[in-house]
Structure 1
Protein backbone atom coordinates (compact mmCIF):
# COMPACT_ATOMS: atom_id res chain seq x y z
CA UNK A 1 0.00 0.00 0.00
CA UNK A 2 1.29 3.47 -0.78
CA UNK A 3 1.67 6.17 1.81
CA UNK A 4 -1.67 7.99 1.96
CA UNK A 5 -0.38 10.97 3.93
CA UNK A 6 -1.75 14.19 2.54
CA UNK A 7 0.21 17.41 2.27
CA UNK A 8 -0.03 19.66 5.28
CA UNK A 9 -2.29 22.69 5.05
CA UNK A 10 -0.91 26.19 5.60
CA UNK A 11 -1.35 27.50 9.13
CA UNK A 12 -4.05 29.97 8.16
CA UNK A 13 -6.12 27.17 6.62
CA UNK A 14 -5.96 24.69 9.49
CA UNK A 15 -9.19 23.08 10.54
CA UNK A 16 -11.02 23.78 13.77
CA UNK A 17 -9.35 20.91 15.63
CA UNK A 18 -6.03 22.72 15.24
CA UNK A 19 -7.26 25.95 16.79
CA UNK A 20 -5.58 25.34 20.16
CA UNK A 21 -3.72 22.73 22.15
CA UNK A 22 -5.94 20.25 24.04
CA UNK A 23 -6.57 20.87 27.73
CA UNK A 24 -7.50 17.30 28.65
CA UNK A 25 -6.74 14.11 26.70
CA UNK A 26 -8.44 10.76 27.21
CA UNK A 27 -6.08 7.88 26.49
CA UNK A 28 -7.98 4.66 25.85
CA UNK A 29 -6.13 1.45 26.64
CA UNK A 30 -3.83 3.46 28.90
CA UNK A 31 -2.24 0.32 30.36
CA UNK A 32 -1.61 -1.23 26.94
CA UNK A 33 1.48 -1.40 24.75
CA UNK A 34 0.85 1.91 22.99
CA UNK A 35 -1.45 3.57 25.53
CA UNK A 36 0.97 3.66 28.45
CA UNK A 37 3.67 5.19 26.26
CA UNK A 38 1.31 7.86 24.96
CA UNK A 39 0.17 8.55 28.53
CA UNK A 40 3.73 8.95 29.84
CA UNK A 41 4.76 11.25 27.00
CA UNK A 42 1.72 13.48 27.44
CA UNK A 43 2.34 13.75 31.18
CA UNK A 44 5.97 14.68 30.48
CA UNK A 45 4.68 17.52 28.29
CA UNK A 46 2.52 18.82 31.10
CA UNK A 47 -0.77 17.81 29.44
CA UNK A 48 -3.67 16.86 31.70
CA UNK A 49 -4.27 13.20 30.86
CA UNK A 50 -7.17 10.92 31.70
CA UNK A 51 -5.97 7.27 31.57
CA UNK A 52 -8.89 5.08 30.52
CA UNK A 53 -8.86 1.34 31.13
CA UNK A 54 -11.21 -1.44 32.17
CA UNK A 55 -9.94 -1.52 35.76
CA UNK A 56 -8.41 1.90 36.38
CA UNK A 57 -9.74 5.01 38.06
CA UNK A 58 -11.22 6.18 34.76
CA UNK A 59 -13.22 3.16 33.60
CA UNK A 60 -13.26 2.72 29.83
CA UNK A 61 -14.28 -0.60 28.34
CA UNK A 62 -14.79 -1.15 24.61
CA UNK A 63 -17.22 -3.94 25.48
CA UNK A 64 -19.42 -1.56 27.52
CA UNK A 65 -20.51 1.58 25.66
CA UNK A 66 -22.00 2.94 28.90
CA UNK A 67 -18.45 3.67 30.08
CA UNK A 68 -17.54 5.82 27.09
CA UNK A 69 -19.51 8.98 27.88
CA UNK A 70 -18.31 9.38 31.49
CA UNK A 71 -14.71 8.83 30.40
CA UNK A 72 -15.01 11.38 27.58
CA UNK A 73 -16.86 13.99 29.63
CA UNK A 74 -14.65 17.05 30.12
CA UNK A 75 -11.99 15.92 27.62
CA UNK A 76 -11.39 17.77 24.37
CA UNK A 77 -9.05 15.23 22.74
CA UNK A 78 -8.61 11.46 22.74
CA UNK A 79 -6.21 8.74 21.70
CA UNK A 80 -8.23 5.78 20.45
CA UNK A 81 -6.76 2.26 20.48
CA UNK A 82 -9.61 -0.13 19.79
CA UNK A 83 -9.61 -3.61 21.31
CA UNK A 84 -9.26 -6.31 20.08
CA UNK A 85 -8.33 -4.80 16.71
CA UNK A 86 -9.79 -2.25 14.32
CA UNK A 87 -10.14 -5.03 11.74
CA UNK A 88 -12.24 -7.17 14.10
CA UNK A 89 -15.94 -7.80 13.44
CA UNK A 90 -18.07 -5.05 14.97
CA UNK A 91 -15.34 -2.40 14.93
CA UNK A 92 -17.08 -0.29 12.28
CA UNK A 93 -20.25 0.00 14.37
CA UNK A 94 -18.21 0.64 17.50
CA UNK A 95 -16.32 3.50 15.85
CA UNK A 96 -19.52 5.06 14.55
CA UNK A 97 -21.06 4.97 18.03
CA UNK A 98 -17.88 6.15 19.74
CA UNK A 99 -17.67 9.10 17.35
CA UNK A 100 -21.21 10.13 18.22
CA UNK A 101 -20.50 9.93 21.95
CA UNK A 102 -17.26 11.87 21.55
CA UNK A 103 -18.96 14.60 19.51
CA UNK A 104 -21.74 14.88 22.06
CA UNK A 105 -19.11 15.45 24.75
CA UNK A 106 -17.28 18.13 22.81
CA UNK A 107 -14.19 16.11 21.92
CA UNK A 108 -12.70 17.93 18.92
CA UNK A 109 -9.37 16.18 18.33
CA UNK A 110 -9.02 12.39 17.96
CA UNK A 111 -6.00 10.31 16.98
CA UNK A 112 -6.88 6.75 15.98
CA UNK A 113 -4.53 3.77 15.95
CA UNK A 114 -5.16 1.64 12.87
CA UNK A 115 -3.53 -1.20 10.99
CA UNK A 116 -1.55 -0.86 7.81
CA UNK A 117 -3.04 -2.62 4.81
CA UNK A 118 -6.25 -3.69 6.60
CA UNK A 119 -9.40 -3.02 4.50
CA UNK A 120 -11.69 -3.72 7.48
CA UNK A 121 -9.77 -1.22 9.59
CA UNK A 122 -10.09 1.38 6.82
CA UNK A 123 -13.87 1.01 6.94
CA UNK A 124 -13.82 1.54 10.70
CA UNK A 125 -11.70 4.67 10.18
CA UNK A 126 -14.34 6.01 7.79
CA UNK A 127 -17.10 5.29 10.30
CA UNK A 128 -15.34 7.38 12.95
CA UNK A 129 -14.60 10.14 10.45
CA UNK A 130 -18.35 10.57 9.86
CA UNK A 131 -18.62 12.44 13.17
CA UNK A 132 -14.97 13.50 13.43
CA UNK A 133 -13.88 14.94 10.06
CA UNK A 134 -10.64 16.22 11.62
CA UNK A 135 -9.65 12.70 12.66
CA UNK A 136 -5.95 11.85 12.51
CA UNK A 137 -5.23 8.21 11.65
CA UNK A 138 -1.93 6.44 12.31
CA UNK A 139 -1.70 3.14 10.41
CA UNK A 140 1.02 1.04 11.95
CA UNK A 141 3.23 -1.79 10.75
CA UNK A 142 3.84 -4.71 13.13
CA UNK A 143 5.41 -3.62 16.42
CA UNK A 144 9.02 -4.53 17.21
CA UNK A 145 7.92 -4.76 20.84
CA UNK A 146 5.80 -7.81 20.01
CA UNK A 147 9.04 -9.70 20.64
CA UNK A 148 9.66 -8.15 24.07
CA UNK A 149 6.19 -7.43 25.45
CA UNK A 150 3.75 -9.35 23.29
CA UNK A 151 2.76 -12.76 22.05
CA UNK A 152 6.20 -13.71 20.74
CA UNK A 153 8.26 -13.03 23.87
CA UNK A 154 7.90 -16.61 25.10
CA UNK A 155 9.30 -17.86 21.82
CA UNK A 156 12.30 -15.57 22.17
CA UNK A 157 12.91 -16.88 25.68
CA UNK A 158 12.53 -20.49 24.53
CA UNK A 159 14.82 -19.97 21.53
CA UNK A 160 12.21 -20.63 18.83
CA UNK A 161 9.73 -18.09 17.46
CA UNK A 162 6.82 -19.86 15.74
CA UNK A 163 4.59 -17.61 13.63
CA UNK A 164 2.76 -17.72 10.26
CA UNK A 165 5.10 -15.31 8.45
CA UNK A 166 7.12 -17.59 6.15
CA UNK A 167 9.68 -15.52 4.21
CA UNK A 168 7.62 -12.33 4.09
CA UNK A 169 9.50 -9.14 4.98
CA UNK A 170 7.91 -6.65 7.35
CA UNK A 171 9.00 -3.05 8.20
CA UNK A 172 8.88 -3.50 12.01
CA UNK A 173 7.97 -0.30 13.85
CA UNK A 174 9.27 0.70 17.26
CA UNK A 175 6.28 1.52 19.50
CA UNK A 176 8.18 4.49 20.89
CA UNK A 177 8.13 6.06 17.43
CA UNK A 178 4.39 5.46 17.16
CA UNK A 179 3.79 7.05 20.58
CA UNK A 180 5.88 10.08 19.58
CA UNK A 181 3.79 10.52 16.42
CA UNK A 182 0.52 10.17 18.35
CA UNK A 183 1.56 12.74 20.98
CA UNK A 184 2.72 15.13 18.27
CA UNK A 185 -0.63 14.81 16.50
CA UNK A 186 -2.51 15.34 19.77
CA UNK A 187 -0.58 18.41 20.91
CA UNK A 188 0.68 20.15 17.75
CA UNK A 189 -1.16 21.85 14.91
CA UNK A 190 -1.28 20.63 11.32
CA UNK A 191 -2.45 17.04 11.70
CA UNK A 192 -6.23 17.34 11.49
CA UNK A 193 -7.64 15.13 8.74
CA UNK A 194 -4.29 13.43 8.06
CA UNK A 195 -3.55 9.72 7.63
CA UNK A 196 -0.01 8.58 8.41
CA UNK A 197 1.38 5.18 7.55
CA UNK A 198 4.15 4.34 10.00
CA UNK A 199 6.92 1.79 9.44
CA UNK A 200 10.45 1.13 10.54
CA UNK A 201 13.38 2.06 8.27
CA UNK A 202 13.98 -1.37 6.69
CA UNK A 203 12.32 -4.66 5.82
CA UNK A 204 13.17 -7.80 7.83
CA UNK A 205 11.93 -11.35 7.45
CA UNK A 206 11.29 -13.40 10.57
CA UNK A 207 14.58 -15.19 9.92
CA UNK A 208 16.40 -11.86 9.84
CA UNK A 209 14.54 -10.72 12.96
CA UNK A 210 15.60 -13.78 14.95
CA UNK A 211 19.18 -13.25 13.74
CA UNK A 212 19.06 -9.72 15.17
CA UNK A 213 17.61 -11.07 18.41
CA UNK A 214 20.37 -13.68 18.58
CA UNK A 215 23.03 -11.00 18.24
CA UNK A 216 21.40 -8.80 20.88
CA UNK A 217 20.85 -11.56 23.44
CA UNK A 218 23.93 -13.65 22.81
CA UNK A 219 21.73 -16.74 22.46
CA UNK A 220 20.65 -18.76 19.46
CA UNK A 221 17.07 -17.87 18.51
CA UNK A 222 15.44 -19.48 15.50
CA UNK A 223 12.32 -18.88 13.45
CA UNK A 224 9.90 -21.76 12.89
CA UNK A 225 7.31 -21.01 10.15
CA UNK A 226 3.87 -22.44 10.87
CA UNK A 227 0.54 -22.35 9.06
CA UNK A 228 -2.36 -20.21 10.19
CA UNK A 229 -4.21 -23.31 11.37
CA UNK A 230 -1.22 -24.45 13.42
CA UNK A 231 -0.87 -21.03 15.02
CA UNK A 232 -4.58 -20.92 15.86
CA UNK A 233 -4.23 -24.27 17.60
CA UNK A 234 -1.32 -22.89 19.63
CA UNK A 235 -3.42 -19.92 20.72
CA UNK A 236 -6.15 -22.21 22.01
CA UNK A 237 -3.58 -23.89 24.25
CA UNK A 238 -3.28 -20.55 26.04
CA UNK A 239 -7.03 -20.42 26.63
CA UNK A 240 -8.18 -18.43 23.60
CA UNK A 241 -11.51 -19.67 22.17
CA UNK A 242 -11.08 -21.35 18.79
CA UNK A 243 -13.23 -18.84 16.80
CA UNK A 244 -11.15 -15.93 18.10
CA UNK A 245 -7.92 -17.85 17.56
CA UNK A 246 -8.85 -18.67 13.96
CA UNK A 247 -9.79 -15.05 13.25
CA UNK A 248 -6.51 -13.73 14.72
CA UNK A 249 -4.37 -16.29 12.92
CA UNK A 250 -6.20 -15.47 9.70
CA UNK A 251 -5.53 -11.76 10.19
CA UNK A 252 -1.82 -12.35 10.73
CA UNK A 253 -1.63 -14.61 7.70
CA UNK A 254 -3.33 -11.97 5.53
CA UNK A 255 -1.15 -9.11 6.78
CA UNK A 256 2.00 -11.14 6.15
CA UNK A 257 1.17 -12.12 2.57
CA UNK A 258 3.61 -9.54 1.18
CA UNK A 259 1.30 -6.60 0.45
CA UNK A 260 2.82 -4.62 3.33
CA UNK A 261 6.43 -5.36 2.37
CA UNK A 262 7.46 -1.73 1.86
CA UNK A 263 8.60 1.18 4.00
CA UNK A 264 7.11 4.67 4.26
CA UNK A 265 8.33 8.08 5.40
CA UNK A 266 5.45 8.60 7.85
CA UNK A 267 7.60 8.88 10.97
CA UNK A 268 9.97 11.34 9.34
CA UNK A 269 7.12 13.46 7.96
CA UNK A 270 5.71 13.97 11.44
CA UNK A 271 8.82 13.97 13.64
CA UNK A 272 11.50 15.20 11.26
CA UNK A 273 13.76 12.21 11.98
CA UNK A 274 14.20 8.64 10.84
CA UNK A 275 12.44 5.82 12.71
CA UNK A 276 14.43 3.54 15.03
CA UNK A 277 15.91 0.42 13.50
CA UNK A 278 14.98 -3.03 14.77
CA UNK A 279 18.59 -3.72 15.75
CA UNK A 280 18.55 -0.69 18.05
CA UNK A 281 15.33 -1.88 19.65
CA UNK A 282 16.80 -5.35 20.19
CA UNK A 283 19.99 -4.00 21.80
CA UNK A 284 18.03 -1.74 24.14
CA UNK A 285 15.55 -4.47 25.11
CA UNK A 286 18.36 -6.90 25.83
CA UNK A 287 20.21 -4.30 27.91
CA UNK A 288 17.01 -3.64 29.88
CA UNK A 289 16.73 -7.34 30.73
CA UNK A 290 13.54 -7.95 28.75
CA UNK A 291 14.77 -11.42 27.76
CA UNK A 292 16.60 -12.37 30.94
CA UNK A 293 16.23 -16.10 31.46
Structure 2
Protein backbone atom coordinates (compact mmCIF):
# COMPACT_ATOMS: atom_id res chain seq x y z
CA UNK A 1 0.00 0.00 0.00
CA UNK A 2 1.00 3.60 -0.51
CA UNK A 3 1.36 4.92 3.03
CA UNK A 4 0.43 8.57 3.51
CA UNK A 5 1.38 10.45 6.65
CA UNK A 6 -0.06 13.88 7.29
CA UNK A 7 1.62 16.38 9.58
CA UNK A 8 0.42 19.61 11.10
CA UNK A 9 3.33 21.43 9.42
CA UNK A 10 2.40 20.19 5.93
CA UNK A 11 -1.19 18.95 6.05
CA UNK A 12 -2.54 16.85 3.23
CA UNK A 13 -4.77 18.41 0.60
CA UNK A 14 -8.11 16.60 0.49
CA UNK A 15 -10.62 16.41 -2.35
CA UNK A 16 -14.12 16.10 -0.91
CA UNK A 17 -16.43 14.80 -3.62
CA UNK A 18 -19.94 16.02 -2.98
CA UNK A 19 -18.47 18.67 -0.72
CA UNK A 20 -21.73 20.64 -0.73
CA UNK A 21 -23.80 17.60 0.30
CA UNK A 22 -24.99 16.34 3.66
CA UNK A 23 -21.83 14.50 4.70
CA UNK A 24 -19.33 16.19 2.40
CA UNK A 25 -20.12 19.69 3.68
CA UNK A 26 -19.51 18.57 7.24
CA UNK A 27 -16.32 16.70 6.36
CA UNK A 28 -14.96 19.79 4.61
CA UNK A 29 -15.82 22.02 7.57
CA UNK A 30 -14.18 19.68 10.07
CA UNK A 31 -11.02 19.31 7.99
CA UNK A 32 -10.72 23.07 7.59
CA UNK A 33 -11.25 23.41 11.32
CA UNK A 34 -8.10 21.33 11.74
CA UNK A 35 -6.21 23.63 9.37
CA UNK A 36 -6.23 21.15 6.50
CA UNK A 37 -6.65 22.41 2.92
CA UNK A 38 -9.78 21.17 1.16
CA UNK A 39 -10.98 21.19 -2.44
CA UNK A 40 -14.70 20.77 -3.07
CA UNK A 41 -15.47 18.21 -5.79
CA UNK A 42 -18.68 19.32 -7.48
CA UNK A 43 -19.93 20.52 -10.83
CA UNK A 44 -19.84 24.08 -9.47
CA UNK A 45 -16.37 23.68 -7.95
CA UNK A 46 -13.16 25.24 -9.20
CA UNK A 47 -12.02 23.16 -10.97
CA UNK A 48 -15.33 21.42 -11.63
CA UNK A 49 -15.81 17.73 -10.87
CA UNK A 50 -18.47 15.63 -12.58
CA UNK A 51 -18.77 11.86 -12.20
CA UNK A 52 -20.14 11.64 -15.74
CA UNK A 53 -17.29 13.65 -17.31
CA UNK A 54 -14.01 11.80 -16.66
CA UNK A 55 -12.13 14.70 -18.21
CA UNK A 56 -12.87 16.70 -15.05
CA UNK A 57 -11.25 14.18 -12.75
CA UNK A 58 -7.60 14.99 -13.52
CA UNK A 59 -7.81 18.74 -12.83
CA UNK A 60 -9.78 18.10 -9.62
CA UNK A 61 -7.09 15.65 -8.44
CA UNK A 62 -4.14 17.93 -9.13
CA UNK A 63 -2.21 18.55 -5.91
CA UNK A 64 -4.46 16.18 -3.93
CA UNK A 65 -3.19 13.24 -1.88
CA UNK A 66 -6.41 11.95 -0.31
CA UNK A 67 -10.07 11.86 -1.32
CA UNK A 68 -13.43 11.46 0.37
CA UNK A 69 -15.42 9.55 -2.24
CA UNK A 70 -19.21 9.93 -2.33
CA UNK A 71 -21.33 8.99 -5.30
CA UNK A 72 -24.59 10.59 -6.40
CA UNK A 73 -27.37 9.52 -6.53
CA UNK A 74 -26.46 6.19 -4.90
CA UNK A 75 -23.53 3.78 -4.97
CA UNK A 76 -25.86 0.88 -5.77
CA UNK A 77 -27.20 2.45 -8.97
CA UNK A 78 -26.21 0.95 -12.37
CA UNK A 79 -22.78 2.10 -13.57
CA UNK A 80 -21.61 3.36 -10.18
CA UNK A 81 -19.07 0.58 -9.60
CA UNK A 82 -17.43 1.16 -12.96
CA UNK A 83 -17.16 4.91 -12.44
CA UNK A 84 -15.84 4.54 -8.89
CA UNK A 85 -13.29 1.98 -10.08
CA UNK A 86 -12.05 4.15 -12.93
CA UNK A 87 -11.86 7.22 -10.71
CA UNK A 88 -9.98 5.34 -7.98
CA UNK A 89 -7.35 4.20 -10.47
CA UNK A 90 -7.04 7.77 -11.77
CA UNK A 91 -6.70 9.09 -8.23
CA UNK A 92 -3.89 6.69 -7.31
CA UNK A 93 -2.10 7.45 -10.58
CA UNK A 94 -2.37 11.17 -9.79
CA UNK A 95 -0.82 10.71 -6.33
CA UNK A 96 -3.98 10.58 -4.20
CA UNK A 97 -3.04 7.47 -2.24
CA UNK A 98 -5.70 7.62 0.51
CA UNK A 99 -9.35 7.02 -0.44
CA UNK A 100 -12.25 6.94 2.02
CA UNK A 101 -15.50 5.68 0.47
CA UNK A 102 -19.00 6.34 1.76
CA UNK A 103 -20.95 3.16 1.07
CA UNK A 104 -24.41 1.87 1.89
CA UNK A 105 -25.02 -0.41 4.81
CA UNK A 106 -26.90 -3.48 3.58
CA UNK A 107 -26.60 -2.46 -0.09
CA UNK A 108 -25.28 -5.53 -1.88
CA UNK A 109 -25.00 -3.61 -5.16
CA UNK A 110 -22.65 -1.14 -3.46
CA UNK A 111 -20.16 -3.93 -2.69
CA UNK A 112 -19.01 -3.98 -6.30
CA UNK A 113 -17.98 -0.34 -6.02
CA UNK A 114 -16.16 -1.07 -2.76
CA UNK A 115 -14.17 -3.86 -4.40
CA UNK A 116 -13.30 -1.76 -7.41
CA UNK A 117 -11.98 0.99 -5.14
CA UNK A 118 -9.93 -1.48 -3.10
CA UNK A 119 -8.42 -2.94 -6.28
CA UNK A 120 -7.00 0.46 -7.25
CA UNK A 121 -4.01 0.05 -4.94
CA UNK A 122 -5.08 2.90 -2.67
CA UNK A 123 -4.87 3.01 1.09
CA UNK A 124 -8.62 2.59 1.55
CA UNK A 125 -11.25 2.86 4.24
CA UNK A 126 -14.91 2.01 3.67
CA UNK A 127 -17.58 3.70 5.78
CA UNK A 128 -21.01 2.08 5.47
CA UNK A 129 -24.02 4.05 6.64
CA UNK A 130 -27.75 3.63 6.22
CA UNK A 131 -30.53 6.21 6.47
CA UNK A 132 -29.44 9.67 7.59
CA UNK A 133 -31.26 11.71 10.22
CA UNK A 134 -30.71 14.71 7.97
CA UNK A 135 -32.89 13.22 5.22
CA UNK A 136 -35.73 14.84 7.18
CA UNK A 137 -34.42 18.41 7.13
CA UNK A 138 -31.94 18.59 4.24
CA UNK A 139 -33.31 16.22 1.64
CA UNK A 140 -36.36 14.48 0.20
CA UNK A 141 -38.32 14.20 3.46
CA UNK A 142 -38.13 17.94 4.23
CA UNK A 143 -41.30 19.01 2.44
CA UNK A 144 -43.39 16.07 3.74
CA UNK A 145 -42.37 17.00 7.30
CA UNK A 146 -43.35 20.62 6.69
CA UNK A 147 -46.66 19.41 5.21
CA UNK A 148 -47.28 17.23 8.26
CA UNK A 149 -47.45 13.86 6.51
CA UNK A 150 -44.73 11.31 5.69
CA UNK A 151 -46.11 8.73 3.23
CA UNK A 152 -43.70 5.85 2.60
CA UNK A 153 -43.78 2.11 1.74
CA UNK A 154 -42.05 1.02 4.95
CA UNK A 155 -44.94 -0.49 6.97
CA UNK A 156 -43.79 -0.96 10.59
CA UNK A 157 -40.17 -1.85 9.76
CA UNK A 158 -37.40 -0.32 11.86
CA UNK A 159 -34.15 1.42 10.96
CA UNK A 160 -31.11 2.60 12.95
CA UNK A 161 -30.98 6.16 11.63
CA UNK A 162 -27.49 7.68 11.83
CA UNK A 163 -26.52 11.33 12.12
CA UNK A 164 -24.36 12.92 9.43
CA UNK A 165 -22.19 14.66 12.02
CA UNK A 166 -21.24 11.22 13.33
CA UNK A 167 -20.52 10.03 9.79
CA UNK A 168 -18.37 13.09 9.13
CA UNK A 169 -16.37 12.59 12.33
CA UNK A 170 -15.65 8.98 11.34
CA UNK A 171 -14.67 10.01 7.81
CA UNK A 172 -12.30 12.73 9.07
CA UNK A 173 -10.65 10.20 11.38
CA UNK A 174 -10.25 7.79 8.47
CA UNK A 175 -8.75 10.49 6.25
CA UNK A 176 -6.22 11.67 8.83
CA UNK A 177 -5.23 8.61 10.89
CA UNK A 178 -3.30 5.69 9.39
CA UNK A 179 -4.83 3.29 11.92
CA UNK A 180 -8.00 3.20 9.81
CA UNK A 181 -6.33 2.08 6.58
CA UNK A 182 -7.78 -1.19 5.28
CA UNK A 183 -10.78 -1.07 7.62
CA UNK A 184 -14.52 -1.23 6.93
CA UNK A 185 -16.77 0.48 9.47
CA UNK A 186 -20.54 0.12 9.68
CA UNK A 187 -22.36 3.01 11.35
CA UNK A 188 -25.76 3.30 12.98
CA UNK A 189 -27.54 5.39 15.55
CA UNK A 190 -28.01 4.16 19.15
CA UNK A 191 -31.48 2.60 18.69
CA UNK A 192 -33.87 1.09 16.17
CA UNK A 193 -36.92 3.19 15.33
CA UNK A 194 -39.82 2.88 12.90
CA UNK A 195 -41.12 5.67 10.69
CA UNK A 196 -44.06 5.94 13.06
CA UNK A 197 -41.52 6.55 15.84
CA UNK A 198 -39.84 9.13 13.61
CA UNK A 199 -43.15 10.94 13.14
CA UNK A 200 -43.73 10.91 16.89
CA UNK A 201 -40.28 12.36 17.61
CA UNK A 202 -40.74 15.03 14.95
CA UNK A 203 -44.17 15.90 16.36
CA UNK A 204 -42.67 16.27 19.83
CA UNK A 205 -39.79 18.41 18.55
CA UNK A 206 -41.92 20.71 16.38
CA UNK A 207 -44.96 20.96 18.64
CA UNK A 208 -47.37 20.04 15.85
CA UNK A 209 -48.74 16.78 14.50
CA UNK A 210 -46.67 15.02 11.87
CA UNK A 211 -48.23 11.76 10.72
CA UNK A 212 -46.69 8.69 9.19
CA UNK A 213 -48.89 7.17 6.46
CA UNK A 214 -47.95 3.70 5.15
CA UNK A 215 -48.41 3.37 1.37
CA UNK A 216 -47.85 0.50 -1.04
CA UNK A 217 -44.79 0.09 -3.21
CA UNK A 218 -46.90 0.77 -6.32
CA UNK A 219 -48.32 3.97 -4.83
CA UNK A 220 -44.86 5.23 -3.94
CA UNK A 221 -43.48 4.42 -7.39
CA UNK A 222 -46.31 6.43 -8.91
CA UNK A 223 -45.29 9.41 -6.79
CA UNK A 224 -41.70 9.05 -7.97
CA UNK A 225 -42.83 9.01 -11.60
CA UNK A 226 -45.00 12.07 -11.10
CA UNK A 227 -42.03 13.96 -9.65
CA UNK A 228 -39.51 12.76 -12.22
CA UNK A 229 -37.46 10.84 -9.66
CA UNK A 230 -35.60 7.55 -10.29
CA UNK A 231 -37.57 4.38 -9.58
CA UNK A 232 -34.44 3.03 -7.86
CA UNK A 233 -35.34 5.15 -4.84
CA UNK A 234 -38.26 2.79 -4.21
CA UNK A 235 -35.84 -0.14 -4.25
CA UNK A 236 -33.96 1.37 -1.31
CA UNK A 237 -37.00 0.91 0.90
CA UNK A 238 -36.81 -2.85 0.38
CA UNK A 239 -33.68 -2.78 2.52
CA UNK A 240 -35.80 -1.52 5.40
CA UNK A 241 -38.67 -3.91 4.76
CA UNK A 242 -36.54 -7.06 4.62
CA UNK A 243 -34.87 -6.27 7.94
CA UNK A 244 -31.28 -6.47 6.73
CA UNK A 245 -30.35 -3.37 8.74
CA UNK A 246 -32.68 -4.00 11.67
CA UNK A 247 -29.82 -4.33 14.13
CA UNK A 248 -27.35 -1.94 15.66
CA UNK A 249 -23.70 -1.70 14.64
CA UNK A 250 -20.94 0.07 16.49
CA UNK A 251 -18.58 1.80 14.07
CA UNK A 252 -19.11 5.20 15.69
CA UNK A 253 -18.08 3.87 19.10
CA UNK A 254 -15.17 1.91 17.59
CA UNK A 255 -13.67 4.88 15.76
CA UNK A 256 -14.63 7.81 17.99
CA UNK A 257 -14.92 6.24 21.44
CA UNK A 258 -18.36 7.74 22.09
CA UNK A 259 -22.03 7.00 21.54
CA UNK A 260 -23.74 8.12 18.31
CA UNK A 261 -26.38 10.87 18.38
CA UNK A 262 -29.96 9.79 19.04
CA UNK A 263 -32.73 10.76 16.61
CA UNK A 264 -34.59 12.65 19.35
CA UNK A 265 -31.56 14.90 19.94
CA UNK A 266 -31.23 15.49 16.21
CA UNK A 267 -34.94 16.37 15.94
CA UNK A 268 -34.73 18.92 18.77
CA UNK A 269 -31.69 20.60 17.23
CA UNK A 270 -33.20 20.72 13.75
CA UNK A 271 -36.52 22.06 15.06
CA UNK A 272 -34.69 24.82 16.94
CA UNK A 273 -33.13 25.96 13.63
CA UNK A 274 -36.59 26.74 12.26
CA UNK A 275 -36.18 24.51 9.20
CA UNK A 276 -39.59 22.87 9.69
CA UNK A 277 -41.56 26.02 10.42
CA UNK A 278 -44.58 26.43 8.14
Deviation at 1:16, TM superposition (A): 4.2
Deviation at 1:255, TM superposition (A): 4.0
Aligned to 1:12: none
CA distance in 2, matches of 1:227, 1:56: 40
Q: CA offsets per residue over residues 159-179 of structure 1, 9 Å max, x none? A: 110112111110000111001
Match of 1:193 among 182, 185, 199: 182
CA distance in 2, matches of 1:23, 1:116: 28
User: Normalised by the size of structure 1, how large is the TM-score?
Assistant: 0.91
Aligned to 1:135: 124
Q: CA RMSD in A?
A: 1.3
Match of 1:251 among 222, 226, 236: 236
CA distance in 2, matches of 1:256, 1:25: 37
Aligned to 2:198: 209
Match of 2:6 among 8, 20, 26: 20
Aligned to 1:92: 81
Q: CA offsets per residue over residues 133-187 of structure 1, 9 Å max, x none? A: 5210000020011111111111111111011211111000011100111011111
Q: CA offsets per residue over residues 83-140 of structure 1, 9 Å max, x none? A: 1111000111112101111011011111100000111101110011101352100000
User: Normalised by the size of structure 2, how large is the TM-score?
Assistant: 0.95
1:228 and 1:250 in contact (8 A); partners too: no
CA distance in 2, matches of 1:119, 1:147: 25
Q: Note if 1:38 corresponds to 2:32.
A: no
Aligned to 2:255: 270
Which fold has the larger relative contact order, with Cα–Cα distance below 8 Å and residues 6 or more apart in sequence? 1
SS of the counterpart of 1:224?
Answer: strand
Q: Note if 1:168 corresponds to 2:153.
A: no
Aligned to 1:238: 227
Deviation at 1:20, TM superposition (A): 3.4
Distance 1:19 1:284, change over 3 A: same
Q: Note if 1:82 corresponds to 2:71.
A: yes
Contiguous gaps of at least 5 residues in structure 1: 1-14
CA distance in 2, matches of 1:69, 1:256: 41
SS of the counterpart of 1:34?
Answer: helix
Distance 1:222 1:20, change over 3 A: same
CA distance in 2, matches of 1:56, 1:91: 21
CA distance in 2, matches of 1:72, 1:227: 44
Deviation at 1:56, TM superposition (A): 2.1
Count of aligned residue pairs for this structure pair: 275
CA distance in 2, matches of 1:250, 1:71: 32
1:18 and 1:191 in contact (8 A); partners too: no
Q: CA offsets per residue over residues 213-237 of structure 1, 9 Å max, x none? A: 0000001111011122221211222
